[in-house]
A and B are shown apart, each in its own frame.
Chain A
Amino acid sequence: MRRIAAITRNPVAVALVAMLAIAGCAGKNTPNNAADLGLGGGAGAATPGSSQDFTVNVGDRIFFDTDSTLIRADAQQTLARQAQWLNRYGSYSITVEGHADERGTREYNLALGARRAAAARDFLVSQGVAANRIRTISYGKERPVAVCDDISCWSQNRRSVTVLGGAGS
């Protein structure tokens, strides 16, 4: 218990220890749309087989209904295009990110994002993409792309994003 007294007396020293211990663990920072990748050019500018080609010409993301993990018809088309492209360019490893909107509590939305990522992954696998190329990660409601208070935002944030060459399997 003497240690409590120590921490109270010398908070600066303790904080420094904490910072040092954490230094060196890089945070993950995955770009998840064309803007994040610094893409300004038109669709035709992307080199076939490049990540720009995938993001701009194929479409890297699909959207979900509220509280749903069902792959909608429009999303199925996007994922089918993704699978076709991924089957052609077989060297990429893939990370499927699952996201939720803010209309849910944090822990449940982490689980919901995980389910969405798994649903998108399963669809890609059903279209012939090797399962061992794909990892999934959930961001829950931590990384919204659209920031506002209404339905138009929430619908953009309920998404899964297929990221090429993510941290790899």
Chain B
Amino acid sequence: MKHKLTAFFSIGLVAAGIALAAVQPARAQLEIDITQGVVEPMPIAITDFVSSGTQGAEIAAVVAADLQRSGLFKPIEKGAFIEKISNPDAAPRFNDWTVINAQALVTGRVTQEADGRLRAEFRLWDTFAGQQLIGEQFFANPSNWRRVAHIIADAIYERLTGEKGYFDTRIVYVDESGPKNARVKRLAIMDQDGANHRTLTDGRAIVMTPRFSPNRQEITYMSYEGSQPQVYLLQIETGQRELVGNFPGMTFAPRFSPDGQKVIMSLMREDGNSNIYTMDLRSRNTTRLTSSNSIDTSPSYSPDGSRIVFTSDRGGRPHIYTMGADGSNPQRISFGDGTYSTPVWSPRGDLIAFTKQTAGQFQIGVMRTDGSGERILSSGRLQEGPTWAPNGRVIMFFREDGGGSGPKLFSVDLTGRNEQAIPTPNFGSDPAWSPLLD
């Protein structure tokens, strides 16, 4: 928790452990094994946090929605609850919860401090063991209440699965409106559950493929605002924009290096082919990494920065290749039927997500970094652009169904069984998941 404590302070949240004297925190058996292929969602009771107004119910609803969407938890209908929690400092009547098969129970309280800050406390209980698993409290600006709820959901997820959560994160994507042959595209940003949505560009220039910097403060993306479509940086807070490099031709397909010091991207050559370059954001030095007479694009670093995965049609059709960060030893890793593109290295380092086109379908899949173990997670008429949740368990992408509609955002977990629509006000494409906020 030390890391998280620091984090909370930095955004004006304060977390502190709270424990009941009567009930000692203890190691319990309550845990979801998410390393298995099929996971039965854990029944969990999330009670409205005790509060004078509606805030307690609102926070509980955000926590429940986060956990439900993960596919690993099954929040129990509130109507089934027997005990009404009125004093969250007292131990609950565990029998009242085990009898409705609530294996885990969340209780809490929201109050307003004299200085105006919101104070949120919660406890996670193992009902069958009769033990408290977590007790924490947070102080935050009231406008940050949804973040508090996401942080609570992350704490519950982490305690019960053994893996980091991903709920206190944001999505940057392309908001699309208007007819398909004159689509207006704006960069937009929102919380991972669709809340706190706002647009970042005005739609006058086509924009695409936004991606977060590792510190989440900047976005690199491609825009048609200049005489050539090129790669830009955008400071999310200030709106300040900056062209990346001074290249003669189109630059596209940008991503940050894991240390945030470089942007890697494609540069179109005079002959129409495209190669991969990096630009160091401090020295402004550019380095060419590929020089094949082909299309080399969609580069993505491994999380340790030592390798790059990319798309190339040097073998005739688009396939996925890996190479060293200096461009050394390119090797093709995709060999299945059809074409492969948009590879993205998992933040855990173990998998590469991709878009595959075969038999008239677009598929989102994952493979190991040597190309083995290919698994398709989702198929559709037109879908592409995977992006990883920071814990490497969930992928977001966009899909366009027929009938003249537009693209929409979806997430799917690594089992392929839990697909969820992500709410956006208009059509949406090119999602990019932020790292965990801290």
Contact = CB atoms under 8 A, between A and B. Distances in A.
A143 interface: yes
A14 B239 contact: yes
Interface of A: 1-9, 11, 14-15, 17-23, 25-28, 67, 69, 102-108, 110-112, 114-119, 135-139, 142-149, 167
Contact of B229 (A1, A69, A102, A137): A137
A157 to B, nearest CB: 9
A69 B272 CA distance: 10
Nearest to A142: B206
Q: Please give me the 8 A-B residue pairs with the lowest Cβ-Cβ distance, nearest first.
A: A118-B272, A18-B239, A27-B204, A115-B272, A1-B10, A111-B295, A107-B253, A21-B239
B297 A111 contact: yes
Interface stretch (B76-84, B156-164, B176-184): B176-184
Given A110-B229, A110-B297, A116-B272, 10 more contacts: A14-B238, A25-B204, A26-B204, A105-B384, A105-B385, A107-B266, A110-B252, A142-B183, A143-B182, A167-B227
A26 B206 CA distance: 11
Contact of B196 (A6, A11, A107, A137): A11
Given A18-B239, A111-B268, A142-B206, A25 B225 contact: yes
Given A8-B143, A19-B202, A144-B180, A138 B295 contact: no
Contacts of B270: 118
A114 B222 CA distance: 15
A82 B357 CA distance: 36
Contact of B239 (A5, A20, A28, A102): A20
A163 to B, nearest CB: 13
A138 B384 contact: no
Nearest to B253: A107
B236 A21 contact: no
Nearest to B382: A102
B179 A15 contact: no
B123 interface: no
Contacts of A144: 180-181
B37 interface: no
A105 B437 CA distance: 29
Nearest to B241: A21
Contact of A119 (B203, B272, B295, B402): B272
B355 interface: yes
B391 to A, nearest CB: 20
B436 to A, nearest CB: 13
Interface string B58-90: 000000000000000000000000000000000
B403 A106 contact: no
Q: How large is the interface on B (under 10, 10 to 19, 20 to 34, 35 or more residues)?
A: 35 or more
Nearest to A18: B239
B23 interface: no
B180 to A, nearest CB: 4
B348 interface: no
B291 interface: no
A118 B198 CA distance: 38
Given A19-B239, A107-B209, A149-B403, A114 B385 contact: no
Nearest to A146: B181
Given A21-B240, A23-B202, A142-B183, A107 B298 contact: yes
A24 to B, nearest CB: 9
Contacts of B181: 143-147
B237 to A, nearest CB: 5
11 contacts: A2-B12, A4-B11, A11-B198, A28-B224, A106-B342, A106-B429, A111-B273, A115-B272, A137-B229, A143-B181, A147-B179
A114 B274 contact: yes
Interface string B111-150: 0000000000000000000000000000001011001000
B117 to A, nearest CB: 12
B199 interface: yes
Contacts of B313: 108
A17 to B, nearest CB: 4
Contacts of A5: 11-12, 141, 144
A59 to B, nearest CB: 20
Contacts of B198: 11, 14-15
Contacts of A25: 204-205, 225
Nearest to B187: A18
A149 B239 contact: no
